[in-house]
Amino acid sequence: MHKYTKKKYFSYFCKLNQEFDIMAEIDPIMERRQREEQEQKNKSLKNIMWALVAVAALMAAGLAYIWTSKSSLVRDLNAEKEDLTQQMIALKGDYDSLSSEYESVNSQLDSSREEVNQLIERIKKTEATNRAKMRQYEKELGTLRSIMRNYIVQIDSLNTLNHKLTADAAAARKEAASSRAENAELKGQVESLSGQVAAGSVIKSRGLSVNAYNASDKVTDRSSRVVRLLASLSLVENDLAPKGPVRVYLRVKDPEGILLTNSVQTSFNYNGQTLVASASREVDYQGKEVDLSIYLNDIPSYQAGIYTIEAYTTQAFLGKTELLLR
């Protein structure tokens, strides 16, 4: 029994030793496989890490580019806003330098100056990045510049007209003084020859017409734009009529029947009555047909309605016509 047991134990231990030897041979292979698997995992992790680093770098570069571009754009927009503001300030100076002798023009200038001031304030309060508003302000700037150029043209035209009217008034006054002297002389001649005057010697006319003109010297029917009237007529041929200077008088009445007169006011005698004329002109009549025109200037304003125009000489009523102004 004892021998059998020792033999049994010896066999058991030998078997264990064989298993340990097999396991000892397997362990290095398993370790190598585990090490290779770990290295593969580490390599994969490194690749993922570098990929993440590359993505982060690209994102950082993109953000830096966007920030730089945005900063540059903001600087450009602020520069555009500053330039627009300076242009508006310069335009304000141009408007301030304009002046006129006419109240209506000055009133329009004041209104435009206020628009410029308000636009400058709106530009200052608007963010430069609000490009829609900035483009709108640029258009308004262009409109105000165009309006200013129209003011300059209008003021120059009015000043030119004013100088012309002043010269015309001086010439008319001189002519009126000369006419009064001539009329005094003619009056004596007429009185001495009055018994010899026959109906056939009276000068007659035809084709009396009147047009209204604006500041651009163009025909208009707008009462608000009228600056002068021009009457045209013809003294017809009459060999029996007296030869020499003949003065034609124009009487213009507004829609209310009020006679229009200016500083060059003159009067004449007709049928024993002294009448005031709105305007007059003298022509050299030698018995042949004579065309003439008479200007009426320096009337402050015109109203809408029908104007009545009558033409006279000291001897005859030459005709009557009407002018409609809107």
Q: What is the DSSP letter of 216?
A: T
End-of-domain residue from the set 176, 196, 216:
196
* Span 142-151, pLDDT tens digits: 888 888 788 7
Domain range for 67 is 28-196
* Span 232-277, pLDDT tens digits: 999 999 988 889 999 999 999 999 999 999 988 899 999 899 999 9
CA dihedral of 141, 142, 143, 145, whole degrees rounded to 10 = 90
Within a domain: 23: no
Q: How many CA atoms lie within 13 A of 182 on its CB side?
A: 12
pLDDT at 277: 95
Q: Are residues 280 and 249 in the same domain?
A: yes
The total of structural domains in the chain comes to: 2
pLDDT at 267: 93
pLDDT at 55: 83
Q: Are residues 300 and 267 in the same domain?
A: yes
What gap in Å lies between CA 294 and CA 291, rounded to an integer? Answer: 11
**% of residues, the chain, pLDDT over 70:** 84
pLDDT at 29: 73
- CATH assignment of the domain containing 306: 2.60.40.10
Q: Are residues 192 and 233 in the same domain?
A: no
Which amino acid is present at 195?
G
pLDDT at 42: 78
Q: Are residues 84 and 182 in the same domain?
A: yes
CB 302 within 8 A of CB 223: yes
Within a domain: 7: no
Q: Which residues of the chain have pLDDT under 50?
A: 1
